[in-house]
Chains A and B, each alone.
Chain A
Amino acid sequence: MTETVRRTIISFSQLDQYIRCPLKYRFMYVDRVDPEWIPAALIFGRGIDTAAAHYFRGAQAGAPPSLAEVQDVFASYWDLETSLREVKFWKGSKAELLDQGTRMLAVFHAGQDPATDIVDVQRRLTVPLIDQQTGEVLDRELVVVMDLLERDREGHLVVVDLKTAGRKYTELQVETSLQLTVYSYAAEMGGLADREDVRLRFDVLTKTKVPELHRYPTSRDRQANVRLFRLASEVLRGVEAGVFHPVVGWQCKECQFRDRCWAWA
């Protein structure tokens, strides 16, 4: 479907990117610079997401795909994406990462319960950004895409995001995750469920030697929604004012815009 850039929206990815590095936000969303290369980790994560979505869609239709089929989706995606683009590999070669992804998906597949009530897969929502304390509305609507929506035994809606990570998540990571806050808010404002009925969960597949699947359930309260509004408001204020400074840190190592960033100085 065609969507014009005139729509006044901001995505979770844009919010997150501005918070992580405003200058990279500018390169990506204002200047729209085409990166010369793609980090392998990005394609890897998308490949796992694509394979998992294939599994969830099949399970939703009552026919969960076999492990071999899920791994095949990943392998095809991996082969295609790494062939078409200039990819930079840091941790492992193309073949090694294919092997790692295959092993991770075996753990993923073994960790799924075919009886899970799957409500939707990769659900896209566009919701207004409202301050629930004052009724103020931002001029941008918030767009999110949720990996997976489940219904638990108590009838709660569970919004799940599948992650690949080098190690287990900490409690702090889960409790402060902006992404889960955004999902909770969007599920409520999009009319999917009342806030009290929304559960959130990170499913983290570790990229360790022996991959593991960890599930981290959590939830959010109204105050988290208010805080999200204020955060979004400040980010948009920064974008409006043209504040695009670099944030230097660990993320610079695999940044596609590193050369351009140094040149900016």
Chain B
Amino acid sequence: MNRELLEKPFEPAQIRQRRGRNGVLDYIEGHNVVHRLNQALDGAWSFEITHHEVREDEVLVLGKLTAEGITKMNFGVSQVTREKGSGALISLGDDLKAAATDALKKCATFLGVGLHLYADKPLNGRGAAGRGSGAPPRPPDGPAGPGAAAPSPGSPDTNGHVAGHGEPSAVTGRATQRQLDTIVNIALAKGLKPAEIDATSLKKFSRKPAALSVKEASTLIQELSNIPRARR
């Protein structure tokens, strides 16, 4: 077991962000975690779901990660996706897969994978309040799969943090994914071409949007939202 490699911090480009209950959270996508486990353990690891539950609005699984005789277990969750309006289930299988990915990532955290993401973060807010000092570190609340996202206004998870984006990530201070999406969406709506988005950012900040800070991204969004549409 190559602990150094397991605990090696991920590259900034591999770190994604989303809003969680306690502010902006950094997370690593599942395939990067799998790749890291393969590298550090030479592929000699196994993962299984030992228990799963389907609740009204979420699915919960208990995952077990085993490598070189060491076992780590943790829970993973995912929201149940339903059709808007009818509320019919879309794919419970996909929801369970997303929860399984979440569980794998949380198990891997116990081996040190991605542990650096919250090394500098205080355990604050509601999430920390119920854990007590002796509890293990809580892995980041990143989406369990590529399709996962924050809940809608009508979902039971509405009490999660929803408003505002302005807080910088506690780790990086980089522009959030929401900001980057907004830059693209608003620029396209204003008639700019993708290359022009980069050009606008480079001209103002000497960096492409992905490399902007939260504050710089806000400035760019503010400017883009106020420009007239490009006439072609």
Could you tell me which A residues sit within 8 Å of B by CB distance?
Answer: 2-10, 14, 28-30, 32, 127-128, 130-140, 189-191, 193-194, 196, 222, 233, 236-237, 239-242
Tell me whether A240 and B83 are in contact (CB under 8 A).
no
Q: Which residue of chain B lies nearest to A125 when distances are taken between CB atoms in the complex?
A: B189
**A240 and B162 contact, Cβ closer than 8 Å, known pairs A135-B218, A191-B188, A191-B189:** yes
CB neighbours (8 Å) of A196 from chain B are 228
Complex interface: chain B residues within 8 A of A30 (CB): 154-156, 158
Choose one: A4, A136, A190, A193; the contact of B81 (CB below 8 Å). Answer: A4
Contact of B190 among A8, A10, A191, A222 (CB under 8 A): A191
Total chain B interface residues with beta-carbon distance under 8 A = 48
What is the minimal beta-carbon distance from B93 to any residue of chain A, in angstroms?
Answer: 14
Stretch at the interface among B44-52, B107-115, B163-171: B163-171
Query: Within the complex, what minimum Cβ distance (angstroms) separates B59 from chain A?
Result: 13
Closest Cβ–Cβ distance, residue B169 to chain A (whole Å): 14
Q: Is B219 an interface residue, CB under 8 A from the partner? A: yes
- A32: contacting residue among B19, B87, B186, CB under 8 A: B87
Q: Tell me, in angstroms, the Cα distance from A107 to B166 when the chains sit together.
A: 50
**Chain A residues within 8 Å of B201, by CB:** none
Question: Chain A nearest CB: distance from B150 CB in Å?
Answer: 5
- Residues of chain B within 8 A (CB-CB) of A134 are 218, 222
* Contact between A139 and B165, CB atoms less than 8 A apart: yes
Other 8 A-B pairs with CB < 8 A, given A5-B81, A30-B155, A239-B153: A2-B84, A4-B81, A4-B82, A5-B152, A6-B148, A136-B218, A137-B178, A191-B191
Contacts of B163 in A (CB 8 A): 138-140, 233, 236-237, 240
Q: How far is the CB of B173 from chain A (nearest CB, A)?
A: 16
Tell me whether B229 and A191 are in contact (CB under 8 A): yes
- Considering only residues 124-141 of chain B, those with a C-beta below 8 Å from chain A are none
B155, A139: Cβ atoms closer than 8 Å: no
Closest to A233 in B: B163
The 4 closest A-B pairs by CB, nearest first: A135-B222, A191-B189, A135-B218, A29-B154
Report whether A241 and B159 are in contact in the complex, using a CB–CB cutoff of 8 Å.
Answer: yes
Known: A5-B81, A29-B153. A130 touches B162 (CB 8 A): no
Check B189 against A5 for contact (C-beta < 8 Å).
Answer: no
On chain B, the residues within 8 Å of A140 by CB distance are 153, 162-163
15 contacts between A and B (CB under 8 A): A2-B83, A6-B147, A6-B150, A6-B152, A7-B152, A9-B152, A134-B218, A137-B221, A191-B189, A236-B162, A237-B163, A239-B153, A240-B159, A240-B163, A241-B159
